[in-house]
Amino acid sequence: MNEFVQFTIEQWREKRDKAFCTHNLNLEEVYAKGEFDSLPAECLIAICYVDAFACVQAKIEESK
């Protein structure tokens, strides 16, 4: 299960990075400033999926 979650995180990170590049946005700046409400939908969706699967991964690790 953890391997699937890690794979999914990597896939969504790639989509996130591509979306940020497409929209000429700096990921680190967005996270540092917390300016998520002004992001294009594809960037925000990718961030949300990365964060959601990272939470799932943390719970899996915690339960071991």
| Interval 31-57: pLDDT, tens | 999 999 999 999 999 999 999 999 999
pTM for the whole structure: 0.89
Radius of gyration of the chain (CA): 13
Q: How many CA atoms lie within 13 A of 3 on its CB side?
A: 0
| Interval 18-28: pLDDT, tens | 999 999 999 99
pLDDT value, residue 2:
87
Helix and strand totals (H; E) in the chain: 3, 0
* Annotated domain spans of the chain: 2-62
> Which DSSP category does 24 fall into?
T
pLDDT value, residue 30:
96
pLDDT tier at 64, thresholds 50, 70, 90: confident
